[in-house]
Structure 1
Amino acid sequence: MRFSAATTAGRFLPQRWALRMGPLLGRIDAVLFTADERGEASRMSVIAFSVRIVSAVIAFVSQVLMARWMGSFEYGIFVLVWVTMVIVGNLACLGFHTSVIRYIPEYRERGLMDELRGIVLASRLFVLIASTLIAGLGALGVWLAAPWIENYYVIPFILGVICLPMIAMSDLLSGLARANSWALFALSPTYLVRPVLILLFMALMLLAGYAPDAKTAIFASIAATYATTLGQLIGVTQRMERQIPAGPMKVHFAQWFVVSLPIFLVESFFFLLTNADVLMVGAYMDPNDVAVYFATVKTLALVHFVYFAVKAGVAQRYAQFTHGDPQRLAAFARETVSWTFWPSLLMALLVLALGEPMLVLFGPEFSSGYPLLFLLVFGVAARAAVGPCESLLTMSGNQNICAAVYAMTLAFNIALNVVLIPMFGLWGAAMATAFAMIFEAGALSFTVWRKLGIVMLIFVPAKGAA
């Protein structure tokens, strides 16, 4: 069975989107995909999209309640600590949470079961050891730097590093699940279960008489993170054991590490770029400003989730197509741009329309962040307009140049923050973020065209690659 791109859109997008996108997707109908190929990618994206919708709602509600319970000052402290822990925990994987998505499908298709068993075990052990060492060094660093850190940040940051090994392990387990197209195992622990448990444990601690402050919220986060990751570990391990027969294993750690390192750089720059504005606001402004800015960014996350949902659904398929027909890869990549842009545009308009009352839910003082949405949305639209370019580059073996692009973008972003935040406050952070995202989108799209000959830009036809 074979079917067109427009037909595919009609199967997994709402009808009004499919009707609008049909003519554009029809341009690639000359390149045909099998039902299995298209079905698996679309199924992953639909599940990822659905999970991110529910996740965005859960995250928004939970953050509103946390802000209401703690007040803007304590909430700002918690936000800065938790964002830092999530960033460092992700980076502590050193790229293995993404490289396994590249190697596992390859080893399975080539029948290299010894290598498959090896990478599954070695990646877990490496990430657990590396993240534990990083957590220890982080706690030591905070303690030594205490004289130069605001007093209200010291204890929360020392407590926060307890989460690091489990955050890193959860990211790796999500990578293992994505490599096997287990969308729910890949996404639901981090995006559904953990935020719900943080909220639940926080509520229970408040009922037990604990103070509604950042330290209580961090204790709740520690408990939720460990419970979620251990449950995820059991579930993924059981499924892996059913699919991979017992036997000897081969460990090519040096090879895996060499490939993971540039991926680590890509992920590091991307993650830092995504969250640099919050960190820079925390460095220059007080926790109340951090709280307002984070609430604004959290509201905008309702648009971001489209991009991340498509990225989660297509990365493994990019890896498989890279070793096959280049025309098939190009057509599929172009289609994922449409999957990303049109739903993102719709969500952006919705957020702009409802942004102010949504921010007031956090507290009356949070409404001051509403005007920032109109500036930040330009950056989000620019990123959506080129689709998941970095996944395409990483899965096609161009992770080095992708890392270089992100390094330049991160440096550009930080430089803008350093200059603009002291001059314009939160407006400076928003300007830096929007300009950096526009630069990132243009640089990644240009790199994909130069390296792969694929036009990843929503309003430019594929024939423009000539």
Structure 2
Amino acid sequence: MTGRSPAAPEAGDQQVRGMARGGVLNLASAVLSQVALFLVLLVLARALGLREVGRYAQVYAVLSLLGLLSLSGFRAGLTRFVAVHLADGEPAALRGAIRLGLGISAAASTVLAVGLAVGAPWLAEALHDPRLSTGLRLAALCLPATTICEAALAATRGWRTQRAYALVGQVYEPVARLALTALALALGAGLTGAFWALVVASWSAAGLALVALARMVRRVPAARPAYRPGELFRFSTVSWVSSLSSTGLIWVDALLLGFFDYGADAIGVYHVATRLVTIAVFVLAPVNASFGPHLAHLHHQGRLDEVRRIYRVATGWVVRLSLPAFVALLVFPEQLLRLVGGPGLAGGAAVTVVLALGQLVNAATGPCGTLLNMSGRVAVNMVDNLAALLLNILLNLWLIPAYGILGAAVAWAVSLAAVNVARVWQVRAQVHTVPVTAGMVKGLVAALFALGVGFGVRWLVEGWVAQLTVGLVAIVAAYLAAVLALGLSREDVMVLRSVTRRGGRQAGADQSVGVAVGSGVRP
């Protein structure tokens, strides 16, 4: 794209506003999701102890890895090709892509689930904990449901609406899991009851996701499905390797700690620390989910100026919304760990700080991986993720025997930082921009001010409960005051106005997309 038409600035504003509305919905639901998942962890730790939390973490790691394996890359593929077929006005191709993606993912997950159920005793022995066998078999029962749910919700995001993804995936499933887990523990069902809670929540969420997808497909003009397996498989196969490597980077540490026989207690501490850090960067996933379909639509139409703009805007949101949580993790790691599991977790403070630094780099580089995927550069993203996974495994094999969970944290943080720095340069070569904006710099300055305030509270206030309570309030207040004092950008003001206006904006956006499909006009 060599120039911009007079209407281009307004078109760019519309894309930013549309992404903002979806992003705010995702963000609100992600807050609820992370709170619910944190409470699941808290309930398990308080009721059953760290050893059972460690077992839960290992089983969930296996479920997550097999979920990516069975989804076969169709999660990103479904979002991208639904968005592309909508842009091109091709309802037949859209229906064919959805049927292929859902059918193959369901079949693959069923085969893997049977394999996991049969091999559960062997895998439990390999992890040096025979008591994992029951949990692994229940994870096998969950696997088809989680795969179908994610595939269906990925397809709905191709309509550039985040409603189903937010309400089913980010609100219903984690809240249902929390309620059912608490009920199971109250009835004395123990860790097995917690896994059954996961089973029920997963299958009910899958049913709701399929209903939501069916309603959206009914808006598309009727047509005999046109199957184009070549383009979908090429994209999805590479995306599958990329996603599997990325998920492996998240969960391989817990599995390797089990293989090195560090015990469920140490793995429990590590899992709590990773969950805390994940909460800090929770904003990345909802912004990515909102950013991806818009990016696929714009890049497919060659509107690179708008691609560059929403990439910078999305990165700015991720950084500025995440920074207060990172400041809290750096100032009060012991206090936050004690809040979850008592004094026994305080030894994981160094692990928490190291993991937080790695995730801070991840947040600061923004949705660069999503940009590579949705613009069709999935092979580049695959190589990045494979390299990061290999680096993480090698560092874990070197550092875990000598340093235990701290070594695992260092391996993970270094690998995550390296892959994201590499992606920034790749995105720069592709779209000729970097995700550094004035708003991001202002956010970093505000975070440094809040960091100083937080350490001041820690030095002046006695008692870990008082330190944490006063400190969190002071960090948020100092950060917001500094951000406002430094001034909001034009995009910030536009987004705030957009998301606070009343009316059926989202419904209108969905309707316009449906009309565009029927007429063949690009929305």
Equivalent pair of 1:387/1:457 in contact (CA under 8 Å): no
Q: What is the CA-CA distance between 1:65 and the residue it aligns to?
A: 0.7
- Identity across aligned pairs (percent)? 23
- TM-score, normalised on structure 1? 0.87
357-366 or 437-446, which moves further after superposition?
357-366
- The equivalent of 2:73 in structure 1 is 95
- The reply to whether residue 257 of structure 1 matches residue 236 of structure 2 is no
- The equivalent of 2:45 in structure 1 is 67
Residues 271-330 of structure 1 show CA distances to partners (whole Å, capped at 9, x for unaligned) of 111222222223222111111111111111121212112111100111112122222222
- The equivalent of 1:168 in structure 2 is 147
- The equivalent of 2:386 in structure 1 is 407
> Match of 1:181, as an amino acid?
R
> Match of 2:268, as an amino acid?
A
SS at match of 1:246: coil
Equivalent pair of 1:386/1:458 in contact (CA under 8 Å): no
Find the aligned partners of 1:209 and 1:316 in 2 and give their Cα distance.
44
> Match of 2:220, as an amino acid?
I
1:460–1:227 Cα change, 3 Å: closer
Picking from 319, 339, 351, the partner of 2:329 is 351
Q: Which runs of 5+ in 1 are unaligned?
A: 1-29, 462-466
147-156 or 396-405, which moves further after superposition?
147-156
1:460–1:268 Cα change, 3 Å: farther
> Match of 1:263, as an amino acid?
S
Q: What is the CA-CA distance between 1:258 and the residue it aligns to?
A: 1.4
Equivalent pair of 2:93/2:227 in contact (CA under 8 Å): yes
SS at match of 2:71: coil
Find the aligned partners of 1:325 and 1:100 in 2 and give their Cα distance.
21
- The equivalent of 1:12 in structure 2 is none
Find the aligned partners of 1:434 and 1:147 in 2 and give their Cα distance.
29
Q: What is the CA-CA distance between 1:143 and the residue it aligns to?
A: 4.2
- The reply to whether residue 286 of structure 1 matches residue 263 of structure 2 is yes
Picking from 429, 441, 456, the partner of 2:420 is 441
1:349–1:255 Cα change, 3 Å: same
Picking from 58, 63, 70, the partner of 1:85 is 63
Q: What is the CA-CA distance between 1:209 and the residue it aligns to?
A: 4.0
- The equivalent of 1:376 in structure 2 is 355
- The reply to whether residue 247 of structure 1 matches residue 223 of structure 2 is yes
Q: What is the CA-CA distance between 1:175 and the residue it aligns to?
A: 0.4
- The equivalent of 2:367 in structure 1 is 388
Find the aligned partners of 1:271 and 1:457 in 2 and give their Cα distance.
27
Question: When the two structures are aligned, how many residues end up with a matched partner?
Answer: 429
SS at match of 1:197: helix
- The equivalent of 2:93 in structure 1 is 115
- TM-score, normalised on structure 2? 0.78
Equivalent pair of 1:296/1:369 in contact (CA under 8 Å): yes
Find the aligned partners of 2:309 and 2:15 in 1 and give their Cα distance.
13
- The equivalent of 1:16 in structure 2 is none
Q: Which runs of 5+ in 2 are unaligned?
A: 1-7, 441-523
Equivalent pair of 2:105/2:148 in contact (CA under 8 Å): yes
> Match of 1:250, as an amino acid?
A
Find the aligned partners of 2:324 and 2:222 in 1 and give their Cα distance.
48
Find the aligned partners of 1:143 and 1:257 in 2 and give their Cα distance.
34
Q: What is the CA-CA distance between 1:146 and the residue it aligns to?
A: 5.8
> Match of 2:414, as an amino acid?
F
Q: What is the CA-CA distance between 1:58 and the residue it aligns to?
A: 1.6
Equivalent pair of 1:54/1:192 in contact (CA under 8 Å): yes
1:49–1:203 Cα change, 3 Å: closer
- The reply to whether residue 297 of structure 1 matches residue 274 of structure 2 is yes
1:372–1:227 Cα change, 3 Å: same
Q: What is the CA-CA distance between 1:456 and the residue it aligns to?
A: 3.4
Find the aligned partners of 1:141 and 1:321 in 2 and give their Cα distance.
45
Q: What is the CA-CA distance between 1:180 and the residue it aligns to?
A: 1.5
- The reply to whether residue 217 of structure 1 matches residue 188 of structure 2 is no
SS at match of 1:305: coil
Q: What is the CA-CA distance between 1:82 and the residue it aligns to?
A: 1.5
SS at match of 2:131: helix
- The equivalent of 1:327 in structure 2 is 305
- The equivalent of 2:399 in structure 1 is 420
SS at match of 2:223: coil
Equivalent pair of 2:25/2:166 in contact (CA under 8 Å): no
- The equivalent of 1:199 in structure 2 is 178
CA RMSD of aligned residues (A): 2.1
Equivalent pair of 1:51/1:188 in contact (CA under 8 Å): yes
